[in-house]
Structure 1
Amino acid sequence: MHPVVKPALRRGWRDLNTVQFGMTPAHALTLGPMDTATGSFLELLNGTRGLPLLREEGRRMDLPEGHVDQLVEGLARSGLLDDARGGGPGAAALRDRKEVLDRLRPDLASLSVVTSEPGDAMRLLAARRTLRVQVRGAGRVGAVLAALLSGAGVGEVDVCDGGQVEPWDLAPGGLPADTVGERRAEAARRVVRRAAPDRPPRRTPGGAGGEGEPGWSLVVLAPRDDVAVHAPAPATAEPFLSSGTPHLYAGVVEATGMVGPLVLPGETGCAGCLDRTRADRDPTWPRMVAQWRSGRQRQVRPCDLALATTVAGLAAAHALAFLDGRLPSSAGARWECSLPGLQWHARPVWPHPECSCGAAEKGSGEQASEDGASHETMAEQRSSTEVRRRAHAARPAGTWRAHV
């Protein structure tokens, strides 16, 4: 191990004996009391020395025997320590690609802030390169979202859409002006390739899920059709539910941005659950949806540039959180933001008992199990669930399945 105090967190002394790491309340941490010699020793934790050399430096500074190991262990437990050579073989391979790593250093620094174990940030960044994501929709939201995922280090990002690029599809960071008239999917894939830090790994021919090729780690549905954003058709997601493929919805409808739900098949509410719940609350819902879908489609939809870019960025952040093994707040919920107020709020998407996705049945089973469990057992169950979710990022793409 080559310890390094996380450089992403700014350091400042609150007084002569207390040091604060980080500025923001979400991630700041104070440590103390800390003597002057130990404070000076922190400067040596910069990733250039292993523990044996650090112990020698500690003796030269007259630090007590074992003090260096205690300090390193304490910083590691606090989540303030990284390992300059940690992260496993994938991380080592990424370090050898300096030009690629330089593009991703801001993403690596961000990961170091939100991870706790030394080497985790580099491990997760390297794991992204093995993942495959498909974005369905190449409008103002979908194309930008796909480019963001590619630029953040996701190994393969595919884009699916039909038709030709129209002037109102263009967006900074998405489809450029010189693509008007080209096939949408091809133009968006070219944008994705340009955003990538390096070329994606070569895959065995045969298409997603074909022989020799893994399935999608995540599918993002970002339709240009505003009706499909507001009322996603359950049939569209049936292949993902049957294959156990996680999928996330995102888009803009009538100056309202929507991100979510993130659907974990068999665990969280899906588009079918959303549709049935709406019908329960409003008997006219099916009639209204039928009219919206069958009515004359507007050529240009109300999807202003700033809101579309905001939705793409938030959806990409939720997608990356999931791909890195965490459970974002869009799992089982839909985040909405409307102009001109721009206040985000979440609407839960509850599993519906009549939906064939099975999430409601699983939820009721877990509830019955927890009703008879001790607090300790419940905590262990939640901890085990979180460990399995965190392990997702290290698995080959397409191996995620709802656990039982």
Structure 2
Amino acid sequence: MSEADLRRQFGNRAVDALLARISSGSSPEIDAKLSAQHFGLQPETAAAFLDAASVAGLVERRDGQVCPACKEDLGALDPDTVLCPLCQEAFSDHGGIVTKVIYRVGGHPPRAIPWVIVIHGFNTHGEWQQDLSWRLGNKLKYSAPVLIYKYGLIRFSVLVRWRHRQLARQLGEAIRAAVAHAKANRIPEPPDVILHSFGSQLFVQLLAVPEFDDLSFGRVIAAGTVIRPNYNWSERISQGRVEGVLCHCGGKDWAVPFAQYFIPGAGPGSRWGFSDVAAINVMDAGYEHGGCFELKELEANLGPGGLWDRFLRRHFSALNCDPKVFQPKVWRPMWAPVRGLVRVTGVLLMAGLAAVALTLASRVWLAVVERFV
């Protein structure tokens, strides 16, 4: 039973209402009859819906015992108990213990988002970050600071490793300062991180720099990522460097398949997904390189029960029944000599174009000088 099956059988309204209930974290116990109207279902259908949702892993179903006097859940009760441990009334005086089906919204309370760091790709100002920051601030009932990290426009330097390391160190220094500031303002938790394109490559470069081993992070969303699909996330999680990772893939992201040829150490993460079993991979077939950051998609992903909302605020099991979740096959990079040849050719081509541009500019400048001197 998947979320798609639930929607086909019981309708979108019921599923959306349940996901919103899960996301809110309020009143973990659900009464089928009392919640029927909220789900847009008849009472008997609501019970069937919650039974199906328990199969999908969205709710927990168990047969519970209720005191006939105080109506409280008795939990695991010794069979020889004759008095209610809560109200001290004799069960026999009120017709005996009542047995009923109890539905609970998982066993995990909603997670608070402490603060968020957003890192965009290269050759862009990351205009979508403002929309993301605004929506994160408005979806929460408390203040969760959002640090938008901008490393400026870079073009040719994306092709060389030493520049990657330099940018990663700059990122590390900025995050270390932000962490210190957050702790000074009574936010001791590590930040969640949202990455896009080349920003994701800088992030894994940062994790590899020993001088920044003191930095740890919460949950990581990588969208349009150029991180290699075989990246060892399990190791980073076991080290306590990150709590979990979501790879939001785009079926029409035509940029990242070429990353391994031009960006050292990169790969087609956004098209392939992460093969590490610790990572959660979700594929949106219609997304291009920045598809998830379009206004409509941001609203859907961050809205109650949305993909990013569930990943950031719920236990990871809340994504188990999502039909877009997949586990990719093992990925292997292109043969190194081929990648090296393409990269060298690209560097030489861009160097040639730069030389031509400089030659033309100098000629124009000389012509101007000759005309007016």
Q: If the length of structure 1 is used for normalisation, what is the TM-score?
A: 0.33
Structure index of larger Rg? 2
TM-score, normalisation: structure 2:
0.36
